[in-house]
Structure 1
Amino acid sequence: MHLLFPSDPFAAASPDEAYAEEYDAMRMSGVQCSLFCFEEFEAGRFKAKPAIPPNAEVVYRGWMMTPDAYVKLSSAVASAGATLRTSPDEYRHCHYLPEWYASCQEFTPETRFFARDSNFAVELADANWPGYFVKDYVKSLTTARGSVAASIHEVGEIVSLIEQYRGQVEGGVCVRRLESLLPETEERYFVIDGHAFARDGVVPQVVRDIATRVSSPFFSVDMVQAEGGDLRLIELGDGQVSDRKKWPAARFAQVLSAGK
């Protein structure tokens, strides 16, 4: 395995500050790492330093990118004679909520999917949910307004704000049934080759079940406790672009490098 991190925009020989601790932990674990300039990559140029070894299995750890951009990264890595461990199809599967929803539907809030220009009030007229959580295929609205709509008439407002603050609605619109959840109980797990891992070593059975249903070599699973006590799946993500959250860098490096 060979790790690929974004470099510091002002110091090409160093990892971006957001990934510096993890970069150091991975190298201490004996994993070879390369850096590349993310800004140059976005401009159509890719150069890893040190060069990625031929036939290496590469794991990217860096900023979120669209599925189309990930295809370009896959091609760039392939041009070095190496392969991304996660294929573009696998990346898209975990990155876009509609891709994984059917396989995990029983564990996660009911969700409906719409095009950006849909008439949400009409399309959701029969839902009669206690509330509506609105996001695009990837992210929710993180401003003070938040992503919760008390009525269907507020859904369009939130979609417009997502577009305003993020520059686009990526993929389409997801409207999720609002459930009574305890946000302070949120925990992130990582799944590697079908095996689930926790920062404290304790993996709930429901996370193990989810791990067997998703076709990807490396992804994250975000769980939160409902007021009734059950654990609910609130998000799945490609592991390469999922931050560690509460995970210590050393623990993350141990799991990713050795799978234990």
Structure 2
Amino acid sequence: MILLFPADVLRPQRVDEHFAAEADAARAAGLEVAVVDHDALSQPGGADAAVRRVRTQGAAVYRGWMLRSDQYAAFDRTLRQRGVMLRTSAEQYRRAHELPGWYSALAEMTPRSVWTAGIDRTAFDRACREFGTGPVVLRDYTKSMKHYWHEAALIPDVANPDAAWRVASRFHELRGEDLTGGFVLRRFECFRSAEVRTWWVDGECRSIGPHPDTPEEMPDAEFDPATVEDAIAALDLPFVTADFVLRDDRVWRLVEIGDGQVSDRPRTLPAEELITVLRG
């Protein structure tokens, strides 16, 4: 297996410092490591230039910065032309990376969600009406702005359309060209714990630990992956993360599914452990 990492911007033959420990652990485990140019991947038509330093063939896993689904698709196509097969296809990446791709299969374990295609005010108002009244949390298909909680994330009452639109407009302003898909509204639920990040390979939970935002914190209750294993396995995705949190009633709730290739590793999870997860 080949592990593909983003190159250091100033030293393009080296792995970006953020992923250097994982690259070292991969080499120590006998895996091949190659670098790709993330900046080129982010540009239209840049995939060929991005992978020019990949000079080997075989099955591969990417461990790097987030890519839009269309960028990943170009990445996947270009690598296949060079005899490198990403374990996660472009279609699988989109389903893991964007909420509409995984929501319907896991709706019972995550807050109720409604989304729009695009950022039209009429569609946004229609989505708000589906909730009637009460608080919701706003995001797009791939990301929230939770660090701007009161101005660009929490809508206190969707029954106030002008106030709701002000939050959506601020969210759009902050996300800019990175806004993906459209608006996603999720019913607000009261959570009482830090999140748990679980790592899954071929439908099997391989690691449980803290979320990167709270690397030193774990909930006071043990998370049992067997309770969700069938549902996540049914997604038929090769490498994903699933973040869970305890609600006020101590019920585990799913916060997010993410493609494992672009999910951050908390600093308290040793790089060697993640490489072991990937090797199976």
What is the TM-score with the length of structure 2 in the denominator?
0.84
Q: Contact 1:110–1:176 (CA<8 Å) still a contact in 2?
A: yes
Q: Hey, which bits of structure 1, 4+ residues long, moved more than 6 A?
A: none
Judged with a 3 Å threshold, the aligned counterparts in structure 2 of structure 1 residues 26 and 202 are, in CA distance, closer, same or farther, namely farther
Relative to structure 1, the CA distance from residue 25 to residue 203 in structure 2 (aligned partners, 3 Å threshold; closer, same or farther) is farther
Structure 2 letter corresponding to 1:196: C
Identity over aligned residues, as a percent? 31
Q: Distance in 1 between matches of 2:73 and 2:115?
A: 24
Q: Is the 8 A contact 1:113 1:172 kept in 2?
A: yes
Aligned to 2:168, which of 155, 159, 183? 159
Per-residue deviation, 1:143: 3.7
| TM-score of the two chains, using structure 1 as the length reference | 0.90
1:193–1:216 Cα contact (<8 Å) kept: yes
Deviations 1:163-195 (A, max 9, x none): 21221321111100001112x430111110111
Q: Is the alpha carbon distance of 1:8 and 1:148 closer, same or farther for their aligned partners in structure 2, counting shifts above 3 Å? A: same
Deviations 1:19-72 (CA, angstroms, capped at 9, x unpaired): 111111222222111012212333412234351x23x11111111111111111
Asked if the contact 2:202–2:236 (Cα under 8 Å) also holds between the matched residues in 1, the reply is no
Change in CA separation of 1:126 and 1:77 when aligned onto 2, cut-off 3 Å:
closer
Contact 1:180 1:226 in 2 (8 A): yes
Q: Which runs of 5+ in 2 are unaligned?
A: 210-221
Q: State the alpha-carbon separation in 1 of the partners of residues 126 and 60 from structure 2.
A: 46
Higher strand share: 1
CA distance in 2: counterparts of 1:167 and 1:125, whole angstroms: 25
1:137 is matched with 141
The answer as to whether partners of 1:141 and 1:158 remain within 8 angstroms in 2 is no
**Other-structure match for 1:242:** 263
- Residue matched to 2:207: 198
Flag structure 1 segments of 5+ consecutive residues without an equivalent.
Answer: none
SS in 1 for 2:142: coil
The RMSD of aligned alpha carbons is 2.0
* Matched length: 255
Where 2:250 maps in the other structure, the secondary structure is: coil
Change (3 A) 1:151 1:33: same
How far, CA to CA, are the matches of 1:68 and 1:199 in structure 2?
30
SS in 1 for 2:7: strand
Mapped partners of 2:147, 2:95: distance in 1? 27
Instruction: Within 5 Å, give how 1:72-221 maps onto structure 2.
Output: 72-115=74-117, 116-119=119-122, 120-125=124-129, 127-144=131-148, 145-152=151-158, 153=161, 154-168=163-177, 169-182=179-192, 184-199=193-208, 203-221=224-242
TM-aligned CA deviation for residue 203 of structure 1: 4.5
50 and 75 in structure 1: CA distance in 2 versus 1, 3 angstrom threshold = closer
The aligned amino acid for 1:40 is A
